Structures are given as structure tokens and as C-alpha cells.
Amino acid sequence: MSQVVVHWVNEADDSVGVGDLADLEHVLRDAARWVWVDVTGADARTTGELAERFAFHPLSVEDTQHEQQRAKMDRYPDGLFLVWLTPERRRADGVVTAELSVFIGPAYLVTLHRMANPAVDAVAAEAPHVMPLGPAWVLHKIIDLLADSTLPLIDKVGEQLSVIEDRMLDQPRQQDLIELHHVRRQLMRLHRVIAPERDVLRGLARESDIVSEEAYRYFQDVGDHVARALDSVETYQDVASSVMDIYLSAQNNRMNEIMKQLTVVATIFMPLTLLSGIYGMNLIRGMWPPVEASWSFAAISVSMVAIAGVMALYFGKRKWW
């Protein structure tokens, strides 16, 4: 069930009225200066009524019924259609997006979203102060809040990456690698969401009939926030790649260390294996110490221990293990 809230600015005194979808017809008929229609949980019926009332293009109406993968702005004869995606971080699902669809013209603003949107609610609470400025200013206020909400989320991802990096430098584990892959997927998703938003904001500069020059200056400020968020994401992506290189390097070094130790052990036992092989032959005549001597086994054993000890000391002095 759609929840529709209609705000309008009266032509006579710039006062702001509030109602529902049933009030929209008489508000438009009684010469409101402009209206803002906010729809939560928009269904096909409500969207169709609004499309008929404001003459929305069928393609833009179709876009509101399907989840969008990236922010965009389309220009139509009667106004603009925007899609703005706000990333949200969930432990189970990683980074997901909340979609806001916007129709804006010189005398109307229509916002549609599936779930309650805190930014829209915050602007609606300030409607008497913001709406007299015009549709573009209300849209700026909403997008500004949505853009600012992205920065703390990116910072949290960066903090998690920093913790993983510290553990990787100390004693890397397989679990750290799994968490690192999870963070890298989140950063990739954030980059895909944020990057197109800069193009949307830049595109507003060409829409002077809807966005005034003064209003666009404020949109440029939002663009700076988006650019800073994107720079942070790209920086964290570089850090994540570096952490992955650190992990792989640490694993290679650890494997090399193990192989070196095993090689030293094998090398120590090589002369011992040679001696045991020689004295394991069936030949008896000419061997020293003589096989018949009672002390021969002790002599061979002491010789093997001595050889192993000398080799171990030599390898240790050379720091080969």
C-alpha cells in the first residue's frame, strides 16, 4: 500500500500546505505555485495516476518499477527523471542500495522510494522553510543529506580494512583473507554506486530551466562531497590490493622459511644416510671399524652424531636456519 504525502506552496503567500493524494487535484487546480509529491512504497496504480497527472514519459515510469543498478538522469520534454542510489551496509548482505526515483519540473517534484527514506523525511520536516525556494532547492537538500550519509559508511569500511591490515602484518590467517575479500567486494560495490552520481550532478548544469545558476552552485558542493567519497573508496581499494600483496608475500616468505628448514634437516641427514647405507651392505672384509669389533657400533653412532652436530652448528653460524 503506497503512502503519499503532498506538499504545496500557495501562490498567494508562499505558505506550505500538507495533504495526501486526494488533495492533489484541487491543489493543482487552485493555482499552487508548485507541489511536492512524496510516495513511499510506490505501486503501479499510484505511479500510473501520477504519470497521468504530470505527463511522465512511459520509459521513466517503467524505470520506477524495476531496480536500477546505477544512478542516472534522463531529460524529457516536460522535465527530468533522476535515479539516486544510496549505499547501505548490512553484515549479512554486504553493501546494498536504497533507490530514490525523482521526477522534477519547473512546478513539481515527485519522489518515489520503496522504504522510508530518512533524508526525505528530514527535508519534509523542514518543508515550510525549504519549499518556498523551489523544487531544485528541495532536491538539493535531499541529495545533500543522502551524499553525506555515504561518508560514515565508507569510513567504517576503511576501519575494518585497517584492522585486517594490522592482523595481516602480524600473523596472517585464512580468516583474514576471507574478510579481506568481503571488504574488497564492498568497496567495488561502493565504487559502482558512487561514480555515476558525479555525472548526474554535472548533468544538472545543462538544465537551466529547472536548476538555476545559484542552485547549481549548491549542487556543485554536493558534487565535492561525492568526489571526496569516491576518492576515499579508490584509496581504500588501493590499500586492499596492497594488503592482499602483503598477505601473499607473507605466505611466500613463510613457505620459503619452511622449505629452508626442511632442506637443512635433509642435508644434515644425507651423510648419516650414506654411512648407514655403507654399513648396511653385505660386504664385511676391509671395513673400518671392523664389524667384529665390539666397539664398532658405538664408534659409528658417535661419528654420525658428531657429523650432524658439526653440520648443524655450521648452518646455524651461517644463519641458514
Query: Where are the domains positioned within the chain?
Result: 3-250, 259-317
Residue with cell 581499494: 237
88 by Cβ neighbours in 10 Å (0-12 / 13-18 / 19+) ranks as middle
3-250 adopts what CATH topology? Beta Polymerase; domain 2 (3.30.460)
Match domain 259-317 to its CATH number in 1.20.950, 1.20.58, 1.10.12, 1.20.1460.
1.20.58
Which backbone phi and psi does 31 adopt, to 5 degrees?
Answer: 65, 50
- Indicate the DSSP class of residue 310: H
Q: Which residues contact 291 (CB under 8 A, 6 or more apart)?
A: 284
Q: What share of the chain is helix, strand, coil (3-state, %, to 5)?
A: 60, 15, 20
Q: How far apart are CA 84 and CA 93, in angstroms?
A: 20
**Digit-coded pLDDT (tens) for 198-221:** 889 988 888 888 888 899 999 999
Give mean pLDDT, residues 2-16.
86
The sign of the CA dihedral 59, 61, 62, 67 is positive
Q: How far apart are CA 10 and CA 2, in angstroms?
A: 25
Give mean pLDDT, residues 269-297.
71
Q: How far apart are CA 178 and CA 244, in angstroms?
A: 11
Helix (H, G, I), strand (E, B) or coil at 261: helix
Q: Contact 85/99 with Cβ under 8 angstroms? A: yes
Q: In sequence order, which ranges of 135-212 are alpha helices (DSSP H)?
A: 135-170, 174-203
Give mean pLDDT, residues 182-187.
90
- Please name which of 154, 146, 306 lies closest in space to residue 234, comparing C-alpha atoms: 154
Beta strand extents in the chain (DSSP E only) = 3-10, 16-19, 32-40, 72-76, 79-90, 94-105, 108-113
pTM: 0.77
- pLDDT(295) > 70: yes
**Digit-coded pLDDT (tens) for 77-88:** 888 999 999 998
Give mean pLDDT, residues 275-291.
67
Beta bridge pairs of residue 2 = none
Q: Which amino acid is at 29?
A: R
